[in-house]
Amino acid sequence: MPETLFKIDLTKPMSEQDLPGHNRWHPDIPAVVSVNPGDVFRIECKDWTDGQIKNDDNPDDVRDVDLTKVHMLSGPIWVDHYPKAA
């Protein structure tokens, strides 16, 4: 089983996680982990609403979603340019 580099507690919003998430790609957002080319790893992710839409068949979740807190992303992850020496 590949190592999990970014672990998520699905019961907590991203603002309460040990590793921060982000909601856009931007060069000023620092990487939280790094990998080498060819590494095999896992990351855990929240859904795009950060858990606002539940699996309870309630349409109010969609109606009431806060669109200022969407597009949750795990990372960023830096990919090293050169493999580490063995």
Domain boundaries, the chain: 1-80
Residue 82 is predicted with a pLDDT of: 67
Q: In angstroms, rounded to a whole number, what is the distance separating the alpha carbons of residues 23 and 17?
A: 14
Q: Give the burial string for 8-46 (b: 16+ CB within 10 Å, else e).
A: beeeeebeebeeebbeeeeeeeeebeebeeeeeeebeeb
Output the pLDDT for position 84.
59
What is the pTM for the complete model shown?
Answer: 0.71
In this structure, of 9-13, 19-23, 77-81, the range with the lowest mean pLDDT score is 19-23
Q: Which backbone phi and psi does 20 adopt, to 5 degrees?
A: -75, 150
Tell which wins on pLDDT, 70 or 75: 75
